[in-house]
Structure 1
Amino acid sequence: MDWQRYTLLGGILAVLLALIFQWNAFQELHTPELDRETIVHSDVQSGGLIPAETYDNSGGDVPQLESQAPAETDNDGTERKLVNVTTDVFDLLIDPRGGDIVKVALRKFEEKLDTPDQPLILLNQTRYHTYIAQSGLIGKNGTDSAAGRPLFNVSKTEYALVEGQDQLVVDLTLQQQGANITKRYTFKRGDYLVQVAYLVDNTSAKPWSAAMFGQIKRDTSEPVTDTGFGMSPFLGAALHTNEENYFKQDFEEIAEKPTRETIEGGWVAMVQHYFLSAWIPPQDERNTFELKELSNGLFRMGFTAQPVQIAAATQGELSASFYAGPKDVYRLEEISPYLDLTVDYGWLWWIAKPLFRVLHFIQEHIVSNWGWAIILLTVFIKTLLLPLSAAGTKSMARMRKFAPQMKKLQEQYKDNRQKLAEETMKLYRREKINPMGGCLPILLQMPVFIALYWMLTETVELRHAPWIFWIHDLSAKDPYFILPVFMGLSMWFMQKLNPAPTDPTQARIMQLMPVMMTVFFLWFPAGLVLYWIANNLITIGQTWYINKQVDAGKY
């Protein structure tokens, strides 16, 4: 009996949901804790710490490094103290040895939802993880070499951007034979771009010469983020080359084929889901970029700028910029050409990018809620595609209207397929039915749907963005799976408004589609599921209206 079958199916679904809830709880319970403790390594000798000794920058090689003695040890032989820098957007640590950035925590982004005391850690150097930003000087008078790195002096170890202050300057000083060098970090309120400059006072009677390098060193560990089920976000290096505006390599590709490029301006970045770090050297000079695996298992992505000559008894400056923060399209566009392409929308970026701007405009100027903005964007897209979708819906409605006649033909000519095909085509011509009319509009809309999927997945603004009631994070899965189930129900109801396939096997597969899609969407980000629900509901309304019009003979 039907009621027994439905009861059995309902019981199976109930058990399946219970298992899913238990698995979800198990995963959360066994998620490893992030190692947040920053450690200081001893002065690293060689091991790929600095770039190669010579560089062809098409403007003359950086002079070969001279042999230097190892950098001096800490004065008291104990572990040196890191410099703690606090701004409105950063909690940052600088190692006086080399003046490197060894930790960056983003104060406006939580590691997990509702953990304001735990900002997201982007860069860090721990016992099990290395992701740091290094910079230095190489060449004839460089401060960094394979033999050792300089130990800078600092006036204090705590710096903070206070209320009413728009800029914070942190100076690290070094006395070199014949020159006084200041490594200056400049932080600005509300900005994730840090200016890094070497101020050189050449006190000698000879010219001073060196080139600045900046590099990101990282292992291959995945960031601790909930990316849900479906796409796997890109993790690896990217840069702007002479041939490609956006060239990317994951760690496996870098290990297999290192990259070296010399261009005017440019940038090099370490890209992950929602966030990135990047070095941006002087844009009016030719810079050499390199992506390479090091002998210690780490990867280096960095640049070397042109050598700078500073005459005797004069001052000079070498500088670059370092970005560590969210994939903010508008800010990245301002920093350097094509850096915004690190917000990777895939090959349909030319559709996804305008969609993001519309979504951003709706959120900024109309609703101030990313969930409602997604719904309004769906309405906007459906309105644009209305001529295509309406044509397909009309064709499906006419097929549904004449489905009894088609079924009658199938029964009448079930043993004569050729005659069945001939009579079916006569019915199509007589009633002006186009069997492909419902397929073509759907195929034409697919690029828009795929582009929207990538756009919503790459939009950092959706991370920890609430909608209503129980949805507190549009970038994470629905904790109670209500949206995916509702999406499946809307898909099932939408199928009921359209004619069933004539082939029994195909019809059974179509009946299972809502169930399969519901399971598939259980781990999708809530923002994506919300889009599909809105799209289905609009399609249901449109289909119902057109079906009524066709039944009334108006089409």
Structure 2
Amino acid sequence: MDDKRNLFAAILLSVAVLLGWNFIAERFFPTPSKPDVTANVAGDTGAAAPAAGTSGTPADIAGQPALPNTQTNSPASIRPVEQVLAQGQRVAIETPSLSGSINLVGARIDDITLTKYRQTIKKDSPPVRLFAPAGSPSAYFASIGWSAQRVNVPGANTLWTASAAKLTPTTPVTLSWNNGTGQTFRIEYSIDQNYLITAKQTIANTGAAPISASSFALIDRAGKPTDPHEQDSWTIHVGPTGYLDGKSVFDVDYDDVEKASGRSVRYNSAAWLGFTDKYWLAAVVPAKGERVTAAISSPAANTYQTLFARDFTQIAAGQQVTTTSRIFAGAKEMAVLSAYQDDQGITRLSNAIDWGWFEFFAVPIFKLLSWLFHQVGNFGFAIMMLTVLIRAAMFPIANRQFHSMAQMRVVQPKMKALQERYKNDKPKMQQELMKLYKDEKINPLAGCLPILIQIPIFYALYKVLMLAIEMRHQPFILWIKDLSAQDPATFLNLFGYLDFTPPSLLSLGVLALILGITMHLQFSLNPPATDPIQQQVFKIMPWLFMFIMAPFAAGLLLYWITNNILSIAQQQWMYRKFPALKQAAAK
């Protein structure tokens, strides 16, 4: 009994540490300020936070010479995005999904906003900014270019000439530049209705001698997310990603790149690579089936880069070589990613959404949830309907579980008698128990196996609700205006009447309270545990989970509450079917 008390105390202390650590860390060990990439991805673009420079030049991979750093930001040079964009010459980008521009200095795609998505749920909220130019907070952009031996190639400061003033799905734009020594470089940009930009890179050698050149594509990013909801974790990958060396990469984060030898992680092949946030993706993609080498690197402090490069090619005098690179810059919409994967041959692009171990469950659940949403028009009701369908599908398993529990309760007096009779002869006791199970036709594992079967399904549903951009900014009813965000009606802000957000540890809202109550009712209907320590654990657990789940997205709490209510209804029905189990629960 003393050992059990010690174990119980250790569990409570561990939970207290887990719950309180964030509050203690924020109060006594504040995190030093660093570039905040979410200022561009989903926040205020006018802040003047310091940002590291981005070179716009490739690292040394595949035997290629590293190009010099020609673009460096210092904290003193950081300016608001609007101010940076107002300077220089640009080609506008306009599609149903994107707006922005291409900087003619460096031919960089460094201005992308996602017109279908807003930064907040307010009606006047600006669109989400994905890319931002160098010199602005959290610079983030895509570049393509060339490396060559003893030949001048365009760089970060090269001023290109454009064939048109606007890039749209029906009007491509060609940029051109001549180095003055016999080589002309061209980039033909085209864009589709969604998020894919195609760049055909041509180098024409009109000189008298052959040259050796290679082309590359890269994404530069200054800083990493500091928003707690945009941090890399064991459930959601945020950071460098791609399909590299024949597999999806989720195990490399920003810190891993900084600690790697030469501050670079290199790969022999790449289908695509870039940076992923919870809902957004920026990636460079070679042509279908093309052989390239790739690297994820950190050229300078708080600066990160993903790059693929081609082997050097000899270009004879009077000849030209064209290569095709693609750039994805947009939202991680499952239908769009899957279409690019199937139609464009971009291997496993849909894995930019980190479905986790149970992808084979998560993807069908996501598709069903999306279909229900389009049927009912309210994502909250779609979540509730999905929960009902899952519970209905799992009903036969739950029925078997309750039946096994009822049988075990019926024969419990016989089991106790055997345990008392053979308490000094453990092998004999086990033998007699197995004989009892056989005589009574009881499977002692029947109560556990259904739970194990349900684990991957419910974990997959959790991943879907956490990652589905379709749930972002979706309202439910009453005060729930965004199912992807925490319940705003907490006790400390008087259920939303006071305009402030309490600390996560104290953010106990209405949904969390309903969750605790329904879980308490569910546990109270279960037959009591024979061990008093377990009884205490089950009494505390609902209220413990109430605090643990309070900071989570409202959509997750809605799912869990619906599941609890269905479990209570199912238990009541089962008690009518198995009176022995009800009698045991009442004792």
TM (normalized to structure 2)? 0.73
| 1:89 equivalent in alignment to 2:97 | yes
The answer for the alignment partner of 2:188 in structure 1 is 184
Contact 1:428–1:434 under 8 Å retained in 2 = yes
Determine which of 228, 243, 247 is the counterpart of 1:244. 247
Query: 2:120 is aligned with what amino acid?
Result: K
Pairwise CA distance, 1:379: 2.1
Query: 2:552 is aligned with what amino acid?
Result: F
SS at match of 2:172: strand
User: Within 2, Cα distance between the matches of 1:309 and 1:491?
Assistant: 70
The answer for the alignment partner of 1:273 in structure 2 is 278
User: Within 2, Cα distance between the matches of 1:68 and 1:514?
Assistant: 56
Bigger shift: residues 226-235 or 324-333: 226-235
User: Within 1, Cα distance between the matches of 2:137 and 2:452?
Assistant: 48
The answer for the alignment partner of 1:80 in structure 2 is 88
The answer for the alignment partner of 2:378 in structure 1 is 369
| 1:516 equivalent in alignment to 2:544 | yes
Q: Which runs of 5 or more residues in structure 2 are unaligned?
A: 1-22, 28-35, 72-85, 490-508
**Quick one: structure 1 residues 230 and 442, their matched pair in 2 at CA, closer, same or farther if it must change by over 3 Å?**
farther
The answer for the alignment partner of 2:355 in structure 1 is 345
**Quick one: structure 1 residues 296 and 509, their matched pair in 2 at CA, closer, same or farther if it must change by over 3 Å?**
closer
The answer for the alignment partner of 1:444 in structure 2 is 453
Query: 1:188 is aligned with what amino acid?
Result: D
Amino-acid identity (%) = 28
Bigger shift: residues 218-227 or 516-525: 218-227
Aligned ranges for residues 136-147 of structure 1 at < 5 Å? 136-140=145-149, 141=151, 143-144=153-154
Pairwise CA distance, 1:233: 3.3
| 1:172 equivalent in alignment to 2:178 | no
**Quick one: structure 1 residues 229 and 312, their matched pair in 2 at CA, closer, same or farther if it must change by over 3 Å?**
closer
**Quick one: structure 1 residues 495 and 502, their matched pair in 2 at CA, closer, same or farther if it must change by over 3 Å?**
same
Pairwise CA distance, 1:97: 1.9
Pairwise CA distance, 1:185: 2.2
**Quick one: structure 1 residues 282 and 123, their matched pair in 2 at CA, closer, same or farther if it must change by over 3 Å?**
same
| 1:101 equivalent in alignment to 2:109 | yes
Pairwise CA distance, 1:194: 0.8
Contact 1:228–1:523 under 8 Å retained in 2 = no
The answer for the alignment partner of 1:4 in structure 2 is none
**Quick one: structure 1 residues 536 and 427, their matched pair in 2 at CA, closer, same or farther if it must change by over 3 Å?**
farther
| 1:380 equivalent in alignment to 2:389 | yes
**Quick one: structure 1 residues 216 and 496, their matched pair in 2 at CA, closer, same or farther if it must change by over 3 Å?**
same
How many aligned residue pairs are there? 496
Query: 1:304 is aligned with what amino acid?
Result: A
Query: 1:212 is aligned with what amino acid?
Result: S
User: Within 1, Cα distance between the matches of 2:293 and 2:576?
Assistant: 66
Pairwise CA distance, 1:66: 10
SS at match of 1:268: strand
| 1:506 equivalent in alignment to 2:534 | yes
User: Within 1, Cα distance between the matches of 2:113 and 2:100?
Assistant: 6
Q: Deviations over 1:392-413 (max 9, x none)?
A: 123345667899x79xx89xx9
SS at match of 1:346: coil
Pairwise CA distance, 1:329: 2.4
The answer for the alignment partner of 1:75 in structure 2 is none
Q: Deviations over 1:69-95 (max 9, x none)?
A: 99xxxxxxx963444433322232322
Pairwise CA distance, 1:321: 0.6
Contact 1:169–1:184 under 8 Å retained in 2 = yes
Pairwise CA distance, 1:506: 1.8
Contact 2:91–2:167 under 8 Å retained in 1 = no
Pairwise CA distance, 1:100: 0.9
The answer for the alignment partner of 2:166 in structure 1 is 159
Q: Deviations over 1:365-399 (max 9, x none)?
A: x3233222222222222222222211112334566
Pairwise CA distance, 1:288: 0.9
The answer for the alignment partner of 2:304 in structure 1 is 299
SS at match of 2:300: coil
Contact 1:262–1:289 under 8 Å retained in 2 = yes
Bigger shift: residues 304-313 or 134-143: 304-313
Pairwise CA distance, 1:135: 1.4
**Quick one: structure 1 residues 67 and 438, their matched pair in 2 at CA, closer, same or farther if it must change by over 3 Å?**
closer
The answer for the alignment partner of 1:255 in structure 2 is 258
SS at match of 1:324: strand
Contact 2:272–2:284 under 8 Å retained in 1 = yes
SS at match of 2:236: coil
Bigger shift: residues 272-281 or 308-317: 308-317
The answer for the alignment partner of 1:214 in structure 2 is 217
User: Within 2, Cα distance between the matches of 1:114 and 1:184?
Assistant: 38
Q: Deviations over 1:308-346 (max 9, x none)?
A: 555544555332110011112232232411111111111
| 1:325 equivalent in alignment to 2:330 | yes
SS at match of 1:347: coil
Aligned ranges for residues 104-119 of structure 1 at < 5 Å? 104-119=112-127
The answer for the alignment partner of 1:36 in structure 2 is 45
Contact 2:97–2:115 under 8 Å retained in 1 = yes
**Quick one: structure 1 residues 114 and 196, their matched pair in 2 at CA, closer, same or farther if it must change by over 3 Å?**
same
Pairwise CA distance, 1:361: 2.9
Contact 2:511–2:558 under 8 Å retained in 1 = yes
Q: Which runs of 5 or more residues in structure 1 are unaligned?
A: 1-22, 57-61, 71-77
**Quick one: structure 1 residues 97 and 38, their matched pair in 2 at CA, closer, same or farther if it must change by over 3 Å?**
farther
The answer for the alignment partner of 1:485 in structure 2 is 513
Contact 1:143–1:149 under 8 Å retained in 2 = no
| 1:51 equivalent in alignment to 2:58 | yes
SS at match of 2:161: coil
The answer for the alignment partner of 1:14 in structure 2 is none
| 1:551 equivalent in alignment to 2:579 | yes
Contact 1:134–1:216 under 8 Å retained in 2 = yes
The answer for the alignment partner of 1:391 in structure 2 is 400
Contact 1:35–1:126 under 8 Å retained in 2 = no
SS at match of 2:240: strand
User: Within 1, Cα distance between the matches of 2:120 and 2:68?
Assistant: 48
Pairwise CA distance, 1:133: 1.3
Contact 2:61–2:294 under 8 Å retained in 1 = no
SS at match of 1:294: strand
User: Within 2, Cα distance between the matches of 1:153 and 1:553?
Assistant: 80
**Quick one: structure 1 residues 289 and 272, their matched pair in 2 at CA, closer, same or farther if it must change by over 3 Å?**
same
SS at match of 1:215: strand
User: Within 2, Cα distance between the matches of 1:67 and 1:300?
Assistant: 15
Q: Deviations over 1:273-301 (max 9, x none)?
A: 11111000112321111111213441221
TM (normalized to structure 1)? 0.77
User: Within 2, Cα distance between the matches of 1:69 and 1:507?
Assistant: 67
Contact 1:230–1:524 under 8 Å retained in 2 = no
**Quick one: structure 1 residues 67 and 93, their matched pair in 2 at CA, closer, same or farther if it must change by over 3 Å?**
closer
SS at match of 1:212: strand
